[in-house]
Chain A
Amino acid sequence: MALNRKIAYIDLTTGGIEIKPIPLELRNKFIGGRGLDAYLLYNHTKQGVDPLGPDNVLLISGGLLTATCASATTRTHVMAKSALTNMLGSTNMGGFFAPELAWAGFHHLVIRGKADKPVYLFIHNGEIEIRSAKNIWGKSVTETQWAIREELQDPEVKSLVTGPAGENLVRWANVMTGIKNSGGRTGMGCIMGSKNLKAVAVRGTMDVSIAHPVEALEYNKRFIDQITSSKVNQTMGTIGTPFIWGATNSWGGVRTRNFQFNQCEYSDDLEPERIDEIALETVGDNHMAACFACQVHCRGKHRLPSGPYKGRYSEGPEYTSQGAFGAEPDCKHADTVLTCNYLVNEYGMDTLETGSMISWAMELYEKGILTREQTDGIDLCFGNDEALIEMITRICYRKGWLADTLADGGLPAAEKIGKNAFDYMVQVKGMHNLHSDERGTPALALNIATASRGSDHLRSRPAIDLYHLPEPVLRKIYSSPIPYDGPLSSEQTHYEGKPWQVFWHENCYMAVDMLGICKYHTMFLGATHPNFEDWSRVVQLNTGLDFSPTHIWEAAVRANMIERLFNLREGMTRYDLKKGEMLNHRYFDEPLRRGAPGVVGRKIDKQKFIKMVDEFYEHKGLDERGVPKPETLKKLGLENEPSHLL
């Protein structure tokens, strides 16, 4: 039974391990996964904790529904205080780790302390062992995983690892499993590295019993059919997220040359058709892989077509990599995107942050803020594919002044580089933005400013805002599970109704993050996808718990609020450009130069933006500083936090 899964506390300093059940009361309040992790983070850290120190907690979890008879319960969540932003660190990835952890008897791991030598954890059917990582320290992401299987003599072991980048404390080093399933954002791999924790390996063969197995099976089929019948998912299933490029670059939604342009020109080689072609040529007709129990199979397979790693098997690329290594640095070659994608996956670095940081450096170089001496002679200009590729390796190994500076993250790097380097950085809370250009889309501008982990496209993005859905359709989506009769607009360039949309999506994504289900099964990209009512049913059939759609919504609101409490405790201040919910001035000052007629010339209206944030705060029960009002905390049952119940 999912509810029998345990929580384990591992102290890497003392080697102490404690295993406890998860009280139903906390399941009721925070459900599981990211929601419960947020509670644990707030309760197990003190204000101002050093993210790289032993008192930071590293939380790893699967969701309530992980490994049950539900669709795509593949997601693993990792959380800690981030060394990149010095605020909430949180990341989520697919693959096969979380289900294995559930079959091994666990839903949550709380890791604190620091091992005096490199170690890895091995979790097997209720038992946890701390093992020496001396044979795997220094290895790449994939080499680490294969070596662990070899050492444990078990090909079915699944591992969550950090690569060399995490060992070298690159502030945005990621956590990875498989070839490319990446927990990229906020540098959770760096936290692993700071604890001398190279990997968490798991093998599980314990039953996860299903409350109503016959009905759960039937419902799963229905649910899956709904997922696979959507055109968006069918497209994703043939090429993956690169298909989004075609839709966004054409009208001008793609950041290019850091932030100078909003459309990549003469970039046919970056089009999804070209990526598909390479996959067909190097792998064949069947070039899509899937994460656990998912029928969307959106993970592309290919072999590198050229370059020093030609022929190597790789997966992806995602839309994010097309942006990070294509649009942002204005390097317009698919081969470069694939090579860079491969490198960051092997080194264990967030693809997004890597591309964005280097592109930022390229703009600084262009403006003369960075000199050729500082780049070690590298001609770090936009469009220089070799320079881009070279910088990736340099950053992983902190080779050279610039790479070492960048590896510490954007905010310290800006300070070190000096002049007005910071003004050019496209970030919120010190974390870079996806290559989407939000100057023409207020809803998305609001989402990246107010997302809990920094500039982010996966925590509250109302992506369907771009679909110009008719108002009755919007009304239906956004009035469930709780009523809403405020304004809504089908137009992506408008400001009306967007605060509610962003608030709704924030809770929608938190809900699936608590359940352990993939966001591509939600209203993220598809307007006909399952929703709160469906999750309520899936939870009931698999666990027996009676969580109404409203209960799930409220748990999501509560979990989002405790994330906010953590950030506020760490000094989040609304208008602070480094620790706040404010956008870089470029959104307000630099109008779009390219794109469709309705988009050219647009920028975000600062006053309207501020009003949107005001309205967003109102929906969340916050005051104008973004701090929850006392009655809001009481309503959510958070007035006694931290409560130390678990």
Chain B
Amino acid sequence: MFRGAMGMRRREFLVAAGLVACARPAPRAPRAVRIEDVLQSALDAAKRAGATYADARVVRRRDQGVATREDHVVDVHDDESYGIGVRVLVVDASQSWGFSATANVDEASAARAARRAVDIARADAGPRKRPIVLAEMGVHRDKWATPMEIDPFDVPIAEKAALLRDVWREAQRVKGVKYMDGDARAVDERKTFASSEGALIEQRVVRVAGGYAVTATDDAGDFVSRAHELPPMQAGWEHVARSSLVKDARKIAEDAAEKLAAPTVETRKRDLILAPSNLWLVIHESIGHSTELDRALGYEANFAGTSFATAAIASGKIGTLEYARDNVTVFADKTTPGGLATCGYDDDGEKTQKWNLIEKGKLVSFQTTRDQAAWIGEKRSRGCSYAEDFSSVPFQRMPNVSLAPSERDASIEDMIAATDDGVLIFGDGSWSIDHQRYNFQFGGQMFYEIKSGKISRALRDVAYQSNTIEFWHACDMIGSAKHFELHGSLVDGKGEPPQSNAVSHGCSPARFRNVNVLSTKR
């Protein structure tokens, strides 16, 4: 990590931004571009054209991956986009936002994009029902980068492919396991942000993922798949290289064979014990998305939907809405080490932070950006603005949202021992939730029946369905900090045009009483 570079030399700044010399050898060095000048050109042009506020982002995004099928490589890709996006706020007779982006990172193109953004804002000018108020914010000039040991883009593609082929060598030894899809991926996001208020922030975020799913089949034409649970992480290649992907290959394959032969679950209510590799996705869907302020106030109504938590704002109940049982505390945190949404500053230039969304069962806050804080009477943004790439308009995206561990020392084994009739679930499977975040249904990877405090057998075709408020009130056991794990996804969609956000969710295992468990076998 490198910080506190207010007085950085220009050359150092340009190289760190990846804009003068590529990390990879190139036939000829690209023509030097002064990124500060390009950004300043955009900001100046916006101001001259009449913008009250402007910000600009030069973003280079690189996505490299390898995919395998059984013992051979089927895809190797290395895609890159680069450009500048300019956002302006125009306050004439009314207020309006405008945005324009170009792949040409030079002063003239940046100025053109800025003027175009002002034109677009003016085309949208008209009476406003809700005034645009930008929250107070410090002006930061800084650098931030993912701490890592091994830059994944320095690792030969053959080494990544070899790891996945080692997995198949082990997995194929298990009878009935016939297929495997594997992949390894690295995403590099380099962003330099400047605003008309004087901010200048350079960040590099690197995310990696590695995984595979094996498929077991039988002579009767039946088949099931089982995926490894290694989560994607903001980290270097060491996260994948030192993982148990290869070591677990035989076990994952054996799981697939066991699941194929397992009985289907009986549809009825029972207790659920969810491992972190399953529970993270429930947190994401039923708490993460519900507490996005723009969603709660109708700004996602046409696509991602709204939120039942709107009621807490409309009736002034923030702090009183009983979202969960009083043992449940959920926090948002864009500073979690390794978290996929972690960074130093958001896309408004606000410093990232940690805060509670649910405290002892009560909803106490929302996720906000700079222009949303005033909507709920807050003076500062929670720092949740994000734009996926240079051509994306920044808007509110989910920070890492995690379930606080219990202070009592509880493990999965303790939960099993305390359960008479339940199902234990590992890994994420199918997921779906309604557009106001009430009714959800999830699957998983491996399912075990619990009878009288012990695992009795594996099950298959399992899904569970509940209502967010009922489910979180049914949570009666949460594991302690030593069982806390961070899981997440590189892709979470929201917005129009749709943008993808990477986000992590941490939790310990937890137990939920009397939940609808259903069979997906027809």
Tell me, yes or no, whether A binds B: no
Residues on B facing A (Cβ under 8 Å): none
